[in-house]
Amino acid sequence: MDCYYKLPVEKLAMRLLLFIGLVISLQFMADGASLPDARCLKKCGDVDILYPFGIGEGCAIEGFVLSCIKTEDGRGDVAFYGITPVLNISLRYGQVRMKSTYISSMCYNLSTKNMDYNEWLLNLTTSPFTISQKENIFIVIGANTAANMFGSSRYSTMPNMIGCLSQCSPYNSFTAQDGSCVGIGCCQAVLSNNISYHEVKFNTFYNTTTLYNNRSITDRASYCGYAVVMEAAAFRFRTAYLNSTAFRDEHNGSVPVVLNWVVGNETCQVAEQMGDRYACRSKNSMCIDSSSGPTGYLCNCTEGYRGNPYLPDGCQDINECDVNNPPPCPGRCKNIPGSFTCSSPSQSRTVILAVSLSVGIVAMAMIVTCSYLVRERKKLANIKKYFQQHGGMLLLQEIGLKQGQSTAFTIFTEAELIEATNKFEDKNVLGRGGHGTVYRGMLKDSRLIAIKRCMSMIDDRQKKEFGKEMLILSQINHKNIVKLLGCCLEVEVPMLVYEFIPNGTLFHFIHGGNDCRNIPFSTRVRIAHESAQALDYLHSSASPPIIHGDVKTSSILLDENYTAKISDFGASILVPTDEAQFVTLVQGTCGYLDPEYMQTCQLTDKSDVYSFGVVLLELLTGKMAFNLEGPENEKSLSLSFLCAMKEGRLMDIIDHHIQTDENAGVLEEVADLASQCLEMIGDNRPSMRDVADKLGRLRKVMQHPWAQHDPEEMESLLGESSVAGLEMVSTGNFSMEGGAVQGILESGR
């Protein structure tokens, strides 16, 4: 608004000098300042209370104690410094923004017809605060107002005086304008330095008395003049301030003012030596000498940190890579304490590649290790499972009980057998049977072994009893039976470990090569006798009795002296003690199978006798038990033999190598014995004991050729009348027995 009226100049000497609530006689040092604890308020109203400020004693450094007071309407809180409300606190710049009610004014008093002067002084001398020179400005508002500000600094004895005159029409020819404070209705002057004390004085020569007196009847305007130190950025002149109370009203009787503050009364250099009294507590903080005076200092967080430097650990690392948008590097940004590093895109790629590669390798190594561990664990679980499944525990118990007895039965680990056979190498295969493959192996103590690795598992009943049965079989100790040394139970299908018999099978001996047929008769009878003794032992002396179940020339092995050794009885079964439980297991080999067993499916010791009869026939004839390629009536050796016997053409079928005069009698006896073994009805067959005895006697006869010419001698040798009719044979070379067989074979070649 324009100032049109000229008021008589009247000096109203009303000077209000108030010593304000901000006058604080404080030692605003950090001396022994207590740190705020959890109960100290962190906020009051909208103001964040940042240490060294605090609400109440114990929460602030001396001189920075604020109070949190309810607003008049009771709705909110306001932080006060003394009687002055705090607007906000800046730690970084060491400033506090406050509401200043120290607005000096001069207004025309209707009753006294004079000007009323209301002048303020502000004394901050003993406080840590100074009025910021940079942020504040001295303002004089009025149509005809002149005011001086007398200021002083705590640090200087030099007074600081500023004067400002504001005039506008009608006191001069200029009209005031909104936003313009150039001496027309509004005058402003910068402070010469940071001041800790100031007082305002109006020049009474300039007043609005004339203007008031000249006003029209209806003009009720209040023509006041104002003088104030306030925040420059918060002030914008309006002409309405000239003829109304708008200036005071607008700011609710107060204006913002910015104060500087410092901690301590010393310089950084001194403060840093003060130990506990040094206010910069955070380890990532630094001291800054005060810019508002020669002494006192501020604390700031060092570069790369932010937070409150006045608190221990108050300065926290800034993650520059996160906070900067765009990020501070074109490549890969990596935050490090107090800073960050950048790697160029290509470096980043290399790093990424290297990292991914290492992560990949580590992951791979972990996967391999894990799968190895899982495999090993599974393997161990399987070992345990199979071992238990196959009756290993029972077997261990039994072995424990039988300790001290002569049995040397071993439970082999799979690893031992793998090592012994060089990982079941093909060149160690001794032969492949119907149930599996047999490998030669050598144990650590240089003992040779034969390992039977079966293809399929035995049935469930046998599974449970397997270990136990193995132990029973291992106790069989007969010179003509292959010794079962042990077994391996920790695999799905158990493996059997036998003593190694070096000279192959009887089958191979008879049918194997061109000269093999030329086996002396005595050797054949010896082998038959030894085999019969072994079977008799299984039937009669083993406890419990054992049926071999698969007697054939390929399950009779020959040792280094060509002594017969019955093998493969691991597949045989123990004779059931309960008669009702006759075995219904179908086993045996074509050509050797007991015809009665074929009908009844009941395997008995007489089944072994029948099969042995076929072995006898192979020894006598040199023919195979079953010849698929032969004519119909000659396919089965037993059938063609029985036929020949019946038709009286025995010699047609007997191996011509052994058809000598001296052999004839015993030959017929053996043939007769074979035919008895081949009886259709099991009960009509002799027992293995009978067969073994007879073969034994026949061997004696052959060793005493003279007896063949003396029926009495013969009878006593044979020990039975049936051989009375035995045809006497001339003396042969009977000395070529046992260990001499090899010599025979060699001389026969």
Residues that bind ligand ATP (CB under 6 A): 430-431, 433-436, 438, 450, 452, 482, 498, 500-501, 504-505, 550, 554-555, 557, 567-568
E strand or H helix at 156, and its extent?
A: strand 156-167
CB of 475 to ligand ATP, least distance (A): 17
**Measured from the CB atom, is 258 or 451 closer to ligand ATP?**
451
What are the backbone dihedrals phi and psi of residue 51, each rounded to the nearest 5 degrees, phi first? -60, 135
Contact 692, 633 (CB under 8 A): no
CB of 512 to ligand ATP, least distance (A): 11
Closest residue to bound ligand ATP by CB: 433
**Measured from the CB atom, is 438 or 525 closer to ligand ATP?**
438
**Measured from the CB atom, is 434 or 738 closer to ligand ATP?**
434
CB of 567 to ligand ATP, least distance (A): 5
**Measured from the CB atom, is 557 or 575 closer to ligand ATP?**
557
Distance CA 142, CA 9 (A): 13
Neighbouring CB atoms inside 10 A of 33's CB total 23
Instruction: Region of 203 please: left (phi>0), alpha (psi -120 to 50) or beta.
Output: beta
> Locate tokens 């009908």: which residue?
599
Q: Identify residue 123 by its one-letter amino acid code.
A: N
**Measured from the CB atom, is 300 or 563 closer to ligand ATP?**
563
Contact 192, 117 (CB under 8 A): no
CB of 358 to ligand ATP, least distance (A): 54
Q: In sequence order, what DSSP letters do the residues of 501-519 get, joined into one string?
A: -TT-BHHHHHHSSTTTT--
Helix pair angle (688-703, 605-621), 10° resolution? 30
Local structure of 442: helix, strand or coil: strand
Residue 452 marked in a binding site:
yes
> Locate tokens 């000077």: which residue?
15
Distance CA 732, CA 662 (A): 6
**Measured from the CB atom, is 49 or 451 closer to ligand ATP?**
451
Distance CA 482, CA 300 (A): 96
Provide the β-strand partners of residue 257: 98
CB of 450 to ligand ATP, least distance (A): 3
Q: In sequence order, what DSSP letters do the residues of 562-629 get, joined into one string?
A: --EEE--GGGSEEPPSSGGG--------TTT--HHHHHH----HHHHHHHHHHHHHHHHH---SB-TT
Q: Which residues neighbour 670 within 8 Å (Cβ) at sequence distance 6 or greater?
A: 525, 528, 616, 619, 620, 695, 698
Identify which of 623, 625, 624, 583 has the alpha carbon closest to the alpha carbon of residue 607. Answer: 583
CB of 592 to ligand ATP, least distance (A): 10
Identify which of 304, 298, 276, 274 has the alpha carbon closest to the alpha carbon of residue 286. Answer: 298
Burial 706-740, CB ≥16 within 10 A → b, else e: ebbeeeeebbebbeeeebeebebbeebeeebbeeb
CB of 429 to ligand ATP, least distance (A): 8
- What order do you get walking across the sheet with 255-261 strand by strand? 54-55, 65-70, 77-81, 84-90, 95-100, 255-261, 129-131
**Measured from the CB atom, is 290 or 567 closer to ligand ATP?**
567
CB of 533 to ligand ATP, least distance (A): 18
Contact 481, 565 (CB under 8 A): yes
> Locate tokens 């008395």: which residue?
209
**Measured from the CB atom, is 36 or 441 closer to ligand ATP?**
441
Could you confirm whether 550 is annotated as catalytic? yes
**Measured from the CB atom, is 506 or 525 closer to ligand ATP?**
506
E strand or H helix at 187, and its extent?
A: strand 186-190
CB of 616 to ligand ATP, least distance (A): 18
Q: Which of 37, 178, 219, 550 is catalytic?
A: 550
The two three-digit tokens of residue 401, written as one number? 């009980």
Local structure of 450: helix, strand or coil: strand
Positions marked catalytic:
550
Binding residues for ATP: 452
Binding residues: 452
